[in-house]
Amino acid sequence: MKISIVSSSTRRGRISHRIALALEQAIHEKGHQAEVIDLAELALPPFEERFALLENPSAELQDLNQKLIATEAFIFLSPEYNGAISSGLKNFIDLFAKDPFSAKPIGVATGSTGAMGGVRAAYQLQQNILTINAFPHPRMLMVGKMDQVLDEKGRVVEPSYGRSQDGFLTAFLDFAQRLSS
Ligand SMILES: Cc1cc2nc3c(=O)[nH]c(=O)nc-3n(C[C@H](O)[C@H](O)[C@H](O)COP(=O)(O)O)c2cc1C
């Protein structure tokens, strides 16, 4: 399957991007294609109108839209900021919804340097995903103390994280494959 991981922290010194790198590597090891869509590299415009209604979308937006259309399953990854998903991820969802996401499986992954792993953002994100006509998987990856479980290259330094990630991915990939067949 073609899986895109949307990494949505654009903060200097960000930590949650480590989860994107770890997921990408683990998905490859499970025999699927994985690509990180890094919102920090894209610098999307603040939401003005939906992509489908833009008169002259930039080449960058058109390329990204094509990439989203070609994606079979997504993982949306967000840090928790003030009890919510990142504004960058909400901006991305509002800009491209709903066509490239409709009827596709989307996994939820959140991270925090605190103990709770971004649980409030995770449940909000499930609701957002339903609203864009996509299918959120019930099992979510919520990573507490994310600065301590992965190094800067996304290598696992805390074995319990590796087990959580593997449980999440095994369930999500099974769900995604059933949905697409
Ligand atoms: C603006 C802001 C708001 C935050 N709000 C929360 C929060 O609601 N819950 C939480 O667990 N951590 C919160 N934190 C701490 C983050 O978990 C921590 O800074 C984390 O590294 C953010 O992810 P990032 O490094 O990928 O940007 C907040 C951090 C920032 C900068």
Domain encompassing residue 78: 2-180
Mean pLDDT throughout 67-82?
98
Residue 97 has pLDDT above 90, yes or no: yes
CA of 111 to the centre of ligand 1 (A): 8
Residue 85 has pLDDT above 90, yes or no: yes
Domain CATH number, residue 81: 3.40.50.360
CA of 112 to the centre of ligand 1 (A): 6
Integer Cα distance of 113 and 99 in angstroms: 34
| Residue 43 banded pLDDT, cuts 50, 70, 90 | confident
Domain tally for the chain? 1
Q: Are 95 and 101 in contact (CB under 8 A)?
A: no
What's the chain's average pLDDT? 97
Provide the whole-model pTM. Answer: 0.98
CB of residue 113 inside a 6 A radius of ligand 1: yes
| Residue 180 banded pLDDT, cuts 50, 70, 90 | confident
CB of residue 67 inside a 6 A radius of ligand 1: no
CA of 48 to the centre of ligand 1 (A): 26
Classify residue 120 as exposed, middle or buried by CB count within 10 Å of its CB (0-12, 13-18, 19+): middle
Specify the pLDDT at position 121. 98
